[in-house]
Amino acid sequence: MSSVGKPVPHDSARGHVTGESLYVDDMPLARNELLVDFLWSPVAHGRIRSLDTTAACSVPGVVALYTYHDLAHNLFGPILKDELLLAEDVVTFIGQPIVVIAAESREALLAAKAAIKIDIERLEPVFTIDEAKRRKQFIGPTRRIARGDVAAAFAAAQNILEGTWINGGADHFYLEGQAAIAYPGEFDSLTLLSSTQNPSEVQEVVAHLLGLQENQVVVTTKRMGGAFGGKECQATHPAAIAALVAHKTKRPARIVYNKDDDMRVTGGRHPFQNDYKVAFTNDGMITALKVDLFSDGGAFADLSPAIMARAMCHVDNAYFIPNIEIAGSICRTNHPPNTAFRGFGGPQGVATIENILEEIAVHLKRDPLEIRTKNCYGIDDRNVTPYGEVVRNNWLPRLFTECVDRADYRRRRIAVAEFNARSKTHLRGLACTAVKFGISFNTKFLNQANALVNVYLDGSVQVSTGATEMGQGVNTKIRQLVADEFGIDIGMVSVMITSTEKNNNTSATAASSAADMNGSAAVDACRKIKARLAEVDAGRKLPWRKLLREAYEKRVSLGDRGFYATQGIEWDAERGVGNPFLYYTQGCAVSEVEIDRFTGMMRILRSDVLMDIGKPLNPGIDRGQMSGGFIQGAGWLTNEEMRYTPVGELLTHSPTTYKIPNIQDVPEVFNLDYIENEANTVNIRASKAVGEPPLLLSISVFCAVKNALSYLSNGAIPKLRAPATGEEILMRLTEIKKKARFAPSPMAVGR
């Protein structure tokens, strides 16, 4: 009767298609409900000289306007408490909320916004990492991870390359905008519906900002229409704004960001600019690496320090680097605070080293695959990361071999070289990259979860955890685990709405670990109930319902709470050492691209993705994560570009100007598979987390573009920034053409 390991359909598969699935803004208007919006700063950096809301107050239908004066506290933040909910005298990014408006209608909201008189003196803004570095404008301290003797290795180096990895930001582009409804209760209590990955954080922040106790605030989350990290911290702002209105007016209050506003006012993936210097032998073995990572944190810290820590812990990726120095600094700029985004800094770290490996190959005129496998972590040796964690059960060598075989890499490498020698109009490139993604929050205390399991007398079961469903299928996985524990059909198990009333002090649904941790907590609760039922049964093997009835009549509890805390993890952020991760999810991908030499337009001809995801809890859902993650990453690296005006206004705030991948951007041939691995016994049912890791395999697409350019660059290392949009590719092609006059170099790659 086991359902774990089977491709059980997603809980909401039918509801998402029929429209039956409920989202925050599907809730019918409550009696007396107010619509909420806010006036935000139109200026990236400035001082508020004056603010006059009297005209706005008298707009018909306007009920209230609030500023920071109306909050009990204004300061909060997930790591550093540096964030203001509502601007005080200074504004630090375009989109920063200043005045909260509550009204009876959208028309009144708009009219009130237009009637607010605000005078802001412009101060000099900072929009780039370079400018922030010049001004030494950083968030938190520079962190370091180091091992070996980098100076000696550089002194003895056979080859040294230097360069800078540059990647842009990205919008999460969840389909459902940030949303919350706050319902006032008696004695100042509040109940919130919030589209958040982190109901406990919303509860904590709302209570704090309004001066309530946490037990006066209940936050529930049914599901999100996508989140991708964008609702890990930044769902808090709309929730707190709606809560302020409900608290003050004692009327229900709703806020839903429209897409354009959402894209403008919320942060996204961190742009990075990483300076590197690498030493390697004539054979392509890396002997030393020095990387200075710089991220654009935006105006407030948000999760930037944890994101930088994950970036630093992923610069090694699949490769053993004996001597290494990694430094990470977060630049404070006047962009909206950048935040968690699927991969959480990991992609920016991994792209840096994968790009370096591509460059080493060009420099040595070797196949990049050879350089990668040569430097790959070993199984019994060369298997310690720069921060001291041992890569246990290392499947990377096998993944490289199998992925390359399945993708027919070697034959296609020759075919690509031949194509490029022949074609005057198109250019092809091929690349194989890997991922080794550390699973666990890199903040130790976040690695805990609790669960509530209620068994009813008809044999059905309700389970509640802190996990939130954002489409990724965590509810389905938890159902499968609970059904298996009790040996009942999955149809007998319901996963209930996430609520802080049932599960307290929970962590965000994040770090790819929600099914791992909440599933483990649910199983813990089931086992407690099962132990009591076994006593009642006393070896008689009673049918499920009969046993429940007998236990109930004997007054044995049929419900329990479970708890889980990930064991054996440690992280010393100051020294940059520890075992931050319970295990690694690994994978490999081969991608081939074709570029139009006259327009720069790029297509992905084929991608082969092979992953080690342990024994998957649900292979169907996991395949969905693999394809979705890969394509989302390819969007970040090749399609999606954030453009601003010189004064920092985002130009690309809608799908007409911001290009997320669509069906035509999916590789024409797209093979996804995983290898069976039963060795990951440290995690629930020997499974592995799969939410974020496949996103990093899209780096193979970027590397394939770079590889294509190397066929024209006459031995020089092609420069390429992410996103490698058609425009970026065309500019690089034009540069190369100026130097080389179209002559393809047969020596560029391979033999």
**Of 179, 255, 399, 510, the one binding ligand HPA by CB under 6 A:** 510
Angle at 140 between CA 149 and CA 210, to 5 degrees: 150
Regarding beta strands 493-495 and 461-465, do their DSSP bridges make them parallel or antiparallel, or are they unpaired? parallel
**Of 168, 184, 199, 229, the one binding ligand MOS by CB under 6 A:** 229
Interacting residues of 739 by C-beta distance below 8 A, sequence separation 6+? 713, 714, 716
Scan residues 230-269 and list those touching ligand HPA (CB under 6 A): 232
The residue number whose beta carbon is nearest to ligand HPA equals 511
Whole-angstrom CA distances from 713 to 283, 365, 727, 739 are: 22, 12, 18, 8
Structure tokens at 645: 């005006």
By the rule CB under 6 A, 409 interacts with ligand MOS: no
Q: Which helix (H) or strand (E) holds 66?
A: strand 62-66
Q: What's the CA gap between 225 and 223, in Å, rounded?
A: 7
Binding footprint of ligand MOS, residue count (CB under 6 A): 9
Q: What's the CA gap between 184 and 15, in Å, rounded?
A: 29
User: Which entry of 418, 692, 727, 735 is annotated as an active-site residue?
Assistant: 692
**Extended beta strands in 364-492, E state:** 426-439, 448-455, 461-465
| Min dist. Cβ of residue 83 to ligand MOS (A) | 18
By the rule CB under 6 A, 704 interacts with ligand MOS: no
Q: Which helix (H) or strand (E) holds 727?
A: helix 726-740
Question: Looking at the DSSP assignment, which residues form a beta bridge with residue 290?
Answer: 277, 325
**346 touches 330 (CB < 8 A):** no
Nearest CB to ligand MOS, comparing residues 45 and 342: 342
Scan residues 344-363 and list those touching ligand HPA (CB under 6 A): 344
| Min dist. Cβ of residue 227 to ligand MOS (A) | 7
Cis ω before 723 (30° cut-off from 0)? yes
Q: What's the CA gap between 667 and 638, in Å, rounded?
A: 13
By the rule CB under 6 A, 340 interacts with ligand MOS: yes
Q: What's the CA gap between 671 and 150, in Å, rounded?
A: 40
Site stretch for ligand HPA (CB under 6 A), options 113-121, 291-299, 441-449, 471-479 = 441-449
Scan residues 62-101 and list those touching ligand HPA (CB under 6 A): none
**Of 341, 564, 571, 658, the one binding ligand MOS by CB under 6 A:** 341
Alpha-carbon dihedral angle through residues 164, 167, 168, 171, given to the nearest 10 degrees: -160
Nearest CB to ligand HPA, comparing residues 126 and 307: 307
| Min dist. Cβ of residue 224 to ligand MOS (A) | 11
Nearest CB to ligand HPA, comparing residues 515 and 650: 515
Site stretch for ligand HPA (CB under 6 A), options 20-28, 507-515, 622-630, 739-747 = 507-515
Residue 341 contact, options ligand MOS, ligand HPA, none, Cβ 5-8 Å cut-off depending on partner type:
ligand MOS
**356 touches 161 (CB < 8 A):** yes
Q: What's the CA gap between 268 and 333, in Å, rounded?
A: 14
Q: What b-and-e string marks burial along 156-175, b requiring 16 or more CB atoms within 10 Å of the CB? A: ebebebebebbbbbbbbbbe
Residue 197 contact, options ligand HPA, ligand MOS, none, Cβ 5-8 Å cut-off depending on partner type:
ligand MOS
| Min dist. Cβ of residue 467 to ligand MOS (A) | 12
- 641 part of the active site: no
| Min dist. Cβ of residue 739 to ligand MOS (A) | 40
**Of 191, 194, 197, 443, the one binding ligand MOS by CB under 6 A:** 197
Site string for ligand MOS, 489-518 (x = CB under 6 A): ---------------------xx-------
| Min dist. Cβ of residue 508 to ligand MOS (A) | 6
Give me the DSSP letters along 493-528: EEEPPEETTTS-SPPPS-TT-HHHHHHHHHHHHHHH
Scan residues 281-310 and list those touching ligand HPA (CB under 6 A): 303, 306, 310
Nearest CB to ligand HPA, comparing residues 511 and 595: 511
**323 touches 153 (CB < 8 A):** yes
Q: Which residues bind ligand MOS (CB under 6 A)?
A: 197, 229, 232, 340-342, 344, 510-511
Q: Which residues bind ligand HPA (CB under 6 A)?
A: 232, 303, 306, 310, 340, 344, 441-443, 446, 508, 510-511
